[in-house]
Amino acid sequence: GNSVTQMEGPVTLSEEAFLTINCTYTATGYPSLFWYVQYPGEGLQLLLKATKADDKGSNKGFEATYRKETTSFHLEKGSVQVSDSAVYFCALSAGDSGGTSYGKLTFGQGTILTVHP
């Protein structure tokens, strides 16, 4: 079956520090990969995505590259802000033999990020 593994949290950083959150996956076929973010008290929001190998997704200074050879999709940001404090989820969507994913996302366990001033 499909699975996503994220680095254990929580992660605590000072403002302007470099962020990496590791994510690796196992999937049948060729999944699409996503990072979602959940701010305190809110629902999840799509942060970025990549649909094929070597694609780089980017948004709000965050980026992640789809690495098929290492089955990874690590999230990075060069300089974090206090407002980036949230829970980050890596997820995949894998199609069946006909290519339909049915919108089913398989999520990692989430990584709590806290950024201090």
Contact set with another protein (CB under 8 A) = 32, 34, 41-46, 49, 87, 89, 91-93, 95, 99-105, 107, 109-110, 112
Kindly write down the DSSP assignment for every residue of 8-21, as one continuous string.
Answer: -S-EEEETT--EEE
Closest distance to another protein from the beta carbon of 5 (Å): 12
Closest separation in Å from C-beta 46 to another protein:
6
Tell me the two tokens of residue 4: 């996503």
CB atoms inside a 10 Å sphere around CB 64: 27
Cβ 78 to another protein shortest distance, Å: 25
Please name the residue that has the structure tokens 């076929």: 29
